[in-house]
A and B are shown apart, each in its own frame.
Chain A
Amino acid sequence: MAFPLTDGTETAARPNWLTAAKNRLQQLLAFASLIVIFTFFALANSAFPTYSNVINILFSTVVIGTLALGTTFVIITGGIDLSIGTGMALCAVMSGVFIVDAGLPVALGVPAAVLFGGLIGLVNGVNVAVLKLPPFIATLAMMLVAQGLALVISKSTPIYFSDHPGYTKISTGELIPALNIPNAVVVLLAAAVLAGFLLSRTLLGRYTYSIGSNEAATALSGINVRRWKVVVYTLAGLFTGLAGVLISARLGSAQPATGMGYELQAIAAVVIGGTSLAGGKGSIIGTMIGALIISVLNNGLQIMSIPQEWQNVILGLVILVAVYADMVRKKET
């Protein structure tokens, strides 16, 4: 330390625990709003806070939650994926094709459907990272392609899994009998833990943040940005495939005409959870809380017999408030 340094006021280190506490508080705030909304409904209607209704809420979080996991990665890189909704429908159809039409055993058909989702994501990734198409455009195109393909492949009719009770168990079975928790919820939890792990503890996660924070700098640091972006979109595709399996197992059928609109709900969950659309910032915990907020709202408003139209209005307002609150919070730190 032989050299004279600055007057030191600028680099004065803020104690580390303070930063950590602040970060935790940030997540706590999203969590707190979830609790507030929950309490509100619980007070408003006694049918709301029952065990079976809570399980209901969790069950209805599964599809949006799974889609939102992959979307979190994409959005943190500063991208967007609009193809996850119809991509999910296409994967459900493919699952039907593999298991019902081609007669593959469930244990093979399910991974195949998930991998098919990965393939969709891979194409997105190549379009975005290699061909340098804007993510919005590339995935908008994929959204249309996937919807069309789902209809073409299924000849516009649902594929039923009635002869494959093992398949529907994936969502509706109860692995842990005493608790009455559907398997789909367990799968979502496992997927969330995996995603959280990938995002916070692996290179993939680090580069996801890095690319979203400053893509040019990441490239200049010797990182193969192109490859990691392809990986991120592929990962989102894998989660899309998983969501396709979960939704078709839950319904007992693959519905080719559905899917549109789910991508926006998933994006909403991610954004409510504090992930910035500008990239560089976000968390899986936040996304899960965001997804829960959406399903608590849907469920609670339904129980209070608020019409669907008004539910949408309220959800829209919640998104505005959540994102605004997040911005205010950021300004203060």
Chain B
Amino acid sequence: MSNHLLEVAGVHKAFPGVRALSDMHLTLRAGEVLALVGENGAGKSTLMKLLSGGYRPDAGSFRLNGEPFVPQNPRHALHAGISIIHQEFNLMPHLTVAQNIFIGREPRRGPLLSERELNRRAADLVARLGLPLDIRAVVGGLTVASQQMVEIAKALSYDARVFIMDEPTAALNDAEVATLHGLIRRFVRPDTGVIYISHRLDELKAISDRITVIRDGRYVDTLATAATTTREIITLMVGRALTSDARPVDVRPGREVVLDVRGLSTGPLLRDVSFTLGKGEILGFAGLMGAGRTEVARAIVGADRTTGGTIRLHGRPVRIHNPAEAARLGIGYLSEDRKHLGLLLEHDVSDNVALSSLRERFTRWGLVDRPATRRTATDLVRRLAVRTPSVRQPTKYLSGGNQQKVVIAKWLVKDCDVLIVDEPTRGIDVGAKEEIYALLNDLARQGKSIIMISSELPEVLRMSHRIAVMTEGRVSGILAAGDASQESVMHLATLRPNENPADAAELGLPDPRRPDAAPDRGPTEPKAV
């Protein structure tokens, strides 16, 4: 008996115009976590879809426990013991957490569903996994991070031997990533194995035993994690060395204020958020997930209703009722949920790139100037290294990371004075990240003002001229690049003024235990009286 749990040999897969995989091979040993890395479009997700029976390989074979394995459909793969978390969410937004987890395996009494048994099992499972989930909550109302937790719980609830995760941490913060890694370590036993796909290379060190690198759909190498440096992995991935100890560029005080936000509040979360944004400045927004960073962006562009505060743009007070109005005023918002809010999946790359600036840039005598949209799109595809056979490829056929680049391209074309980017590099490979950083720096140098929301602290630190840190819907501090460090940011991000009187005092807020302070508290912290 070999201890090879899963073997992939000589697998080819082509799509019209694209060779996604050629002569791909890899081996997952029993009892290990194998990381799979490669640039956007390298073919990682395609390989996983072949394993789940979603696609058929053009050539090549799989072996599971030494036996030939030809996945027919997702159900077959599940029964064979392969459980996959796909890169895109695969949840039913209208169903509850419990219903989602046990979809297809509902406990029944006779012909009837037993909702009580279902909820009992789900409660058991999330308790066993230690996940902070309300099993009766409707999934569509959860945050992206919580939805990811549901996916994880669901995938782990199958009695699988091979557990495959395609970028499970793209939407998670560091604490949540730690939770997931704990779960993975508990899952791995001598007869099970995990394939772990991620662009966050620092994680691989923490969780994987070996790392398989692929490039352009081909196998490159497999390395023992303990004996490898991140630098080596990057070099194998992109075929060249990258330096990554860059610092913010062009930092200087006394910039002309472009955007001035005072006392911004929303019903559910934000409390008295104030900050300014200078011309040509990159203002980072750091904080734990749920601290309200995305909500600030949404409130500014009018996607959510505000209950107080003023916004001045170039010194003039403005009232913004919806994102279209914001865009007209020159404020662009690149949302964190790109799949749902950012792309027309049926349309091609150039349509998507041109979409939000059709009227200003790509119309002649009322007609859309298609050649112009294609030229611009082609240029951006090259600059952002979007992997696509042409700008006329429908975006639904692009890999996850490449779709994100298209959304970014769209806002680059739009030419806003103020650009708010929410998690701009989520799911994007290291090489392309550098391109995006360079582009943002470039834009700032041209005098554009940028708000960058990111959960990756290193990224915030290396890009931001100043960093606004948020906690519990408030700005707990604004740090200059020179004073900002992992420690100082984390300190501000973990203050809990709504519970802890000392923290409240540090921020100059009333004692949260005093009843007259109650109206000013966030709504999500019920307090026993």
Pair from one complex: yes
A residues apposed to B, CB below 8 Å = 1-14, 16, 19, 201-203, 205-206, 209-210, 212-214, 216-224, 280-281
Instruction: Check A6/B95 contact, CB under 8 A, given A14-B137, A218-B103, A221-B74.
Output: no
* Residues of B bordering A, CB below 8 Å: 52, 54, 73-75, 78-79, 84, 86, 89-95, 99, 103-104, 106, 108, 111-113, 130, 132-134, 136-138, 142-143, 145-146, 149, 154, 173, 175-176, 178-179, 182, 288-291, 471-472, 494, 496, 522, 524-525
Are the C-beta atoms of A217 and B91 separated by less than 8 Å? yes
For B111, list chain A residues within 8 Å (CB).
202
- A10–B134 CB distance below 8 A: no
Residue picked from A8, A16, A201, A222, most chain B C-beta under 10 Å: A222
B92 and A6 contacting across the interface, CB-CB below 8 Å = no
Smallest distance from the beta carbon of B340 to chain A beta carbons, Å? 12
Q: How far is the CB of B222 from chain A (nearest CB, A)?
A: 28
A7 touches B54 (CB 8 A): no
Q: Which B residues touch A9, using CB under 8 A?
A: 290-291, 472, 522, 524-525
Residue among A201, A217, A280 making CB contact with B113, cutoff 8 Å: A201
Q: Are B288 and A6 in contact (CB under 8 A)?
A: yes
Q: How far is the CA of A280 from the CA of B522 in the complex (A)?
A: 32
Most chain B beta-carbon neighbours within 10 Å: one of A2, A9, A14, A210 = A9
CA distance A154 to B375 in the complex (A): 63
Residues from chain A with a CB closer than 8 A to the CB of B92 are: 209-210, 213-214, 217-218, 280
Cα of A6 to Cα of B89 in the assembled complex, Å: 20
Query: 20 other contacts beyond A5-B175, A11-B137, A214-B93, with CB at 8 A cut-off?
Result: A3-B178, A5-B130, A5-B132, A6-B288, A9-B291, A9-B524, A10-B142, A11-B149, A14-B134, A16-B136, A19-B136, A201-B112, A205-B113, A206-B103, A210-B103, A213-B95, A220-B74, A221-B74, A221-B90, A224-B75
- A11–B291 alpha-carbon span in the complex (Å): 12
Residues in B whose Cβ lies below 8 Å from that of A202 = 111-113
A–B Cβ pairs within 8 angstroms, 12 of them: A5-B179, A7-B472, A9-B291, A11-B134, A11-B137, A14-B134, A203-B113, A209-B92, A210-B99, A216-B90, A222-B74, A280-B92
A280 in contact with B94 (CB, 8 Å): yes
A6 touches B136 (CB 8 A): no
User: In whole angstroms, how far apart are the Cα atoms of A214 and B94 in the complex?
Assistant: 9
8 Å CB contact of A213 from B94, B132, B134: B94
The residue in chain A whose Cβ has the minimal distance to the Cβ of B269 is: A9
Inter-chain contacts of A16 with B (CB < 8 A): 136
**How far, in angstroms, from A212 to B94 measured CA to CA in the complex?**
9
Are B74 and A219 neighbours in the complex by a CB distance under 8 Å?
A: yes
Residues of chain B lying within 8 A (CB to CB) of residue A201: 112-113
**B474 to nearest A CB, angstroms?**
12
- Chain A residue numbers with a CB within 8 Å of B130 are 1-3, 5
A24 smallest CB distance to B (angstroms): 15
Determine whether the beta carbon of B524 is less than 8 Å from that of A12: yes
- Contacts A201-B113, A203-B113 given: A11-B146 contact, CB under 8 Å? yes
A330 CB to closest chain B CB (Å) equals: 10
- Chain A residue numbers with a CB within 8 Å of B52 are 220
A222: nearest chain-B partner, CB-CB:
B75
Measured CB to CB, the closest approach of chain A to B212, in angstroms, equals 24
CB contact between B90 and one of A10, A19, A220 (< 8 Å): that residue: A220
Q: Decide yes or no: A3 and B182 within 8 Å by CB, A10-B289, A203-B106 being known contacts.
A: yes
CA distance A191 to B525 in the complex (A): 46
Q: How far is the CB of A49 from chain B (nearest CB, A)?
A: 38
Chain A residues contacting B142 (CB-CB under 8 Å) are 10-11
The interface residues of chain A lying within 8 Å CB-to-CB of B94 are 209, 212-213, 280-281
Contact of A217 among B89, B145, B176, B496 (CB under 8 A): B89
Asked if B179 and A3 make an inter-chain contact with CB atoms under 8 angstroms apart, the answer reads yes
Contact of A10 among B104, B145, B178 (CB under 8 A): B145
A-chain residues with CB within 8 Å of residue B175 when the two chains form the complex: 4-7
CA distance A201 to B84 in the complex (A): 29
B525 partner residues in chain A, CB cutoff 8 A: 9, 12
Q: By DSSP majority rule, is chain A's interface helix, strand, loop, or mixed?
A: loop
**Closest chain B CB from A25 CB (angstroms):** 15
By the criterion CB–CB under 8 Å, are B182 and A2 in contact? yes
Partner of A4, one of B73, B74, B179: B179
Q: Name A6's contact: one of B75, B112, B145 (CB within 8 Å).
A: B145
Among residues of B, the one whose C-beta sits closest to the C-beta of A278 is B94
Q: A11-B146, A203-B113, A222-B74 are in contact. Are A6 and B103 (CB under 8 A)?
A: no
Q: How far is the CA of A218 from the CA of B75 in the complex (A)?
A: 11
Does B95 contact A209, Cβ atoms closer than 8 Å? yes
In the bound assembly, the distance between CA atoms of A219 and B133 in angstroms comes to 24
Name the 6 nearest CB pairs between A and B, nearest first: A13-B134, A222-B75, A217-B90, A213-B92, A280-B94, A9-B290
Residue of A11, A202, A205, A223 contacting most chain B CB atoms (<10 Å): A11
Residue in B91, B95, B104 whose CB lies within 8 Å of A222: B104
| B134 cross-chain contacts in A, Cβ below 8 A | 11, 13-14
Are A13 and B137 in touch, CB under 8 angstroms? Answer: yes
Chain B residues closer than 8 Å to A219, beta-carbon distance: 73-74
The verdict on A10 contacting B179 (CB below 8 Å), with A202-B113, A220-B52, A221-B103 known, is no
* Bound CA–CA A213/B94 (angstroms): 6
CA distance A5 to B290 in the complex (A): 12
Q: A261 vs B103: C-alpha distance in the bound complex, in angstroms?
A: 37
In the assembled complex, the Cα of A219 lies from the Cα of B88 at a distance in Å of 14
Quick one: which of B103, B133, B524 has the most chain A CB within 10 A? Answer: B103
What is the CA–CA distance of A194 and B122 in the complex, to the nearest angstrom?
A: 28
Interface centre among A3, A19, A202 (most CB of B within 10 A): A3
Residue of A7, A206, A210 near B291 (CB, 8 A) is A7
Q: Is the CB of A214 within 8 A of B91?
A: yes
Closest residue on chain B to residue A11 by CB atoms: B132
Complex Cα spacing A171 to B244, Å? 79
A210-B140 Cα distance, complex, nearest whole Å: 12
* B54 surroundings in chain A (CB, below 8 A): 220
A210 contacts which of B95, B112, B288 (Cβ < 8 Å)? B95
Which B residue's beta carbon lies closest to that of A212? B94
A8 to B130 CA separation, bound complex (whole angstroms): 13
In the assembled complex, the Cα of A280 lies from the Cα of B95 at a distance in Å of 8
B173 and A213: CB pair below 8 A?
no
The reply to whether B78 and A222 form a contact with Cβ atoms under 8 Å apart is: yes
Q: Which residues of A contact B91 (CB under 8 A)?
A: 214, 217
Question: How many Å from the CB of A132 to the closest CB on chain B?
Answer: 16
Q: Which residue of A lies closest to B494 (CB)?
A: A7
> What's the least CB distance linking A121 to chain B, in Å?
20
Chain B residues contacting A217 (CB-CB under 8 Å) are 89-92
Contact A214 B472 (CB under 8 A): no
- Assembled-state Cα–Cα distance A1/B127 (Å): 8
Q: A6-B289, A10-B143 are in contact. Are A206 and B108 (CB under 8 A)?
A: no
Q: With A and B bound together, what is the CA distance between A263 and B142 in angstroms?
A: 36
CB contacts (< 8 Å) of B472 on chain A: these are 7, 9
Distance of A146 Cα from B182 Cα, bound (Å):
60
